[in-house]
């Protein structure tokens, strides 16, 4: 009855595309298929008896406590005008250069990604703050839109990314399953810290590739990325340094506190997330941006996002049990194992499927629905878990930039001025999609870009 497993997967995707809530779609469609299977005598209800244990595992998973803490940190920083101050200051630093405003957007996007890790909030904030400024100073709309979309999606790969927290937990479970299927009863482990560390070099390389592209474009086509007018720049170094210190230092310190404590082995991601949440609260107090009303708003927003994530966890647990009850995991294992080209063919197929699904599904949905299906098979074939996690993150980041359905494009389209067309946005992201694909190719050719730093910081005995 493996065909029912494929039908279940297709039905879930179609219902999600129709706009129904993710968590209830996963749970509801799965229960319908389980009921039909029981009536046909094709499904064993014993699989659903494992659901309480799955739910208890979700509730007692200490790693997942990092999710609400990182969300709180991101939402709090979003409400403290951090992006606005950063962008204004960085624009004055680089404003005298051709393409300087574009460089400022990339640098601010990187700092916001490392501070918040929430892609949608970053793209919307940058679209509201940077796009009108870039257009006012003579930037071609396509270049401005592409730069903002690309910089906003850096939150997918630069730690502390929410997707890396979720991927780390799921890949850790999948890695243990893969080793147990191979008869290894003392399995190695992979953690969220490993994924955070593994994402550092690819993330920095991606930022550098963005910067190189913008510098080359500004050199070859200065009319599309002109320097700022003299009146828009800082009057002197004495005025600029205090503003630069005040705007850039807080997010840098927060980034060092969170990532540094993880990479140095001083704190787990959950402990570091609590440091980040406390640091964001302190920044709000120092900047006099915190009130009871704002704190209530931040906490309500955090609870809504966290509840959504954990409800999806519950729905995904039910989906995986029904999918496994129909033999779906064995079917996926057979398909990927028999692919021409072995591991390479299996990876290519998995990446292609996730890339295409990224057009219509959010990263949380793909992480909970697709990754638990394909990851155990790929890991059993010998794929490194850290490398796999980083490849998936960059792949989804590329998918979110790709027309016509990329999520980042929809976020920017919703806040762009009337004079900016959808065609401008599509044309602008095309070079950055090429850069993303080049980064994926480099990572595929040299997996050590993702695996070297975790191995150095956490050597195996």
Terminus-to-terminus CA distance in the chain, angstroms?
45
* Structure token pair of residue 96: 């005298």
pLDDT for the residue 231: 46
Distinct helix (H) and strand (E) counts, the chain: 22, 0
What's the average pLDDT block by block, 10 residues per block, for the chain (461 residues)?
80 79 84 87 83 83 80 77 72 75 83 64 75 83 89 81 82 83 74 86 92 90 77 57 73 78 78 84 81 88 83 83 81 77 85 80 75 86 89 87 75 79 87 92 92 79 48
* Structure token pair of residue 257: 């506190």
8 Å CB contact between 30 and 8: yes
pTM: 0.81
Number of Cβ atoms within 10 Å of the Cβ of 85: 18
For the stretch 276-322, pLDDT in tens is: 888 888 888 887 778 888 889 888 988 887 888 788 888 888 888 88
Phi and psi dihedrals of 225, rounded to 5? -140, 70
Q: How far apart are CA 436 and CA 441, in angstroms?
A: 9
Helical spans, DSSP H, in 116-233:
119-136, 141-152, 162-181, 192-220
Q: How far is CA 365 from CA 17, 231, 235, 360, 398, in A?
A: 11, 47, 49, 10, 16
Buried b (16+ CB within 10 A) or exposed e, 141-162: bbbbbbbbbbbbbbbbbbbbbb
pLDDT for the residue 233: 53
Angular region, 416: left φ>0, alpha ψ -120 to 50, beta rest: beta
Q: If 0-12 CB within 10 Å is exposed, 13-18 middle and 19+ buried, where does residue 245 land?
A: exposed
* Structure token pair of residue 153: 């999606």
Q: How far apart are CA 461 and CA 448, in angstroms?
A: 19
């Amino acid at each position: 009855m493996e065909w029912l497993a494929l039908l279940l997967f297709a039905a879930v995707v179609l219902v999600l595309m129709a706009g129904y809530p993710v968590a209830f779609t996963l749970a509801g469609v799965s229960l319908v298929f389980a009921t039909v299977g029981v009536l046909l005598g094709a499904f064993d209800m014993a699989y659903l008896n494992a659901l309480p244990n799955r739910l208890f595992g979700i509730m007692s998973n200490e790693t997942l406590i990092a999710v609400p803490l990182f969300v709180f940190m991101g939402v709090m920083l979003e409400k403290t005008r951090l992006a606005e101050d950063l962008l204004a200051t960085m624009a004055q630093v680089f404003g005298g250069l051709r393409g300087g405003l574009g460089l400022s957007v990339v640098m601010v996007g990187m700092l916001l990604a490392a501070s918040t890790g929430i892609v949608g909030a970053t793209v919307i904030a940058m679209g509201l703050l940077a796009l009108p400024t870039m257009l006012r100073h003579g930037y071609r709309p396509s270049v401005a839109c592409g730069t903002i979309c690309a910089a906003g999606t850096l939150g997918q790969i630069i730690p502390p990314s929410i997707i890396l927290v979720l991927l780390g937990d799921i890949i850790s479970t999948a890695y243990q399953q893969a080793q147990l299927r191979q008869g290894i009863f003392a399995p190695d482990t992979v953690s969220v810290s490993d994924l955070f560390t593994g994402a550092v070099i690819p993330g920095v390389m991606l930022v550098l590739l963005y910067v190189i592209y913008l510098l080359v474009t500004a050199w070859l086509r200065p009319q599309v990325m002109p320097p700022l007018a003299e009146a828009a720049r800082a009057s002197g170094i004495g005025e600029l340094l205090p503003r630069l210190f005040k705007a850039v230092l807080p997010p840098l310190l927060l980034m060092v506190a969170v990532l540094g404590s993880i990479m140095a082995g001083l704190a787990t991601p959950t402990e570091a997330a609590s440091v980040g949440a406390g640091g964001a609260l302190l920044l709000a107090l120092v900047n006099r941006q915190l009130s009871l009303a704002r704190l209530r708003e931040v906490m309500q927003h955090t609870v809504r996002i966290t509840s959504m994530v954990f409800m999806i966890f519950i729905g995904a647990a039910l989906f995986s049990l029904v999918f496994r009850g129909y033999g779906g995991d064995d079917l996926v294992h057979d398909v990927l194992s028999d692919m021409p080209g072995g591991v390479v063919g299996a990876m290519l197929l998995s990446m292609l499927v996730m890339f295409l699904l990224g057009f219509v599904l959010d990263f949380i949905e793909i992480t909970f629905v697709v990754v638990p299906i394909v990851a155990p098979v790929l890991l059993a074939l010998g794929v490194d878990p850290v490398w796999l996690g980083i490849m998936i993150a960059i792949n989804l980041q590329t998918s979110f930039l790709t027309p016509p359905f990329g999520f980042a494009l929809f976020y920017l389209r919703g806040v762009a001025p009337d004079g900016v067309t959808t065609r401008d946005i599509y044309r602008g992201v095309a070079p950055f999609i090429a850069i993303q694909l080049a980064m994926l190719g480099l990572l595929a050719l040299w997996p050590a870009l993702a695996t070297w730093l975790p191995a150095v910081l956490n050597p195996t005995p």
